[in-house]
Amino acid sequence: MKVLVKENYRVIVRPVSGIARNSREEEQLCKMILQGIERHVDDIGDAYLEWDTREVCSFCNYLWEVDSEDGMPVCCNRAYEEMRREEDE
Residues 30, 61 share a domain: no
Tally of structural domains, the chain: 2
Residue 87's alpha-carbon distances to 8, 32, 71, 72, 80, in angstroms, are 48, 43, 11, 10, 11
Say if residue 19 is in the same domain as residue 1: yes
Q: Do 71 and 43 reside in the same domain of the chain?
A: no
Range of the domain at 33: 1-52
pTM of the shown model:
0.61
Residue type at 4? L
Q: What is the pLDDT along the chain (89 residues), one digit of tens a residue?
A: 677 888 888 888 888 877 767 888 888 999 999 999 999 999 888 888 888 888 999 999 899 999 999 999 999 999 999 999 988 88
**3-class DSSP assignment, residue 66:** strand
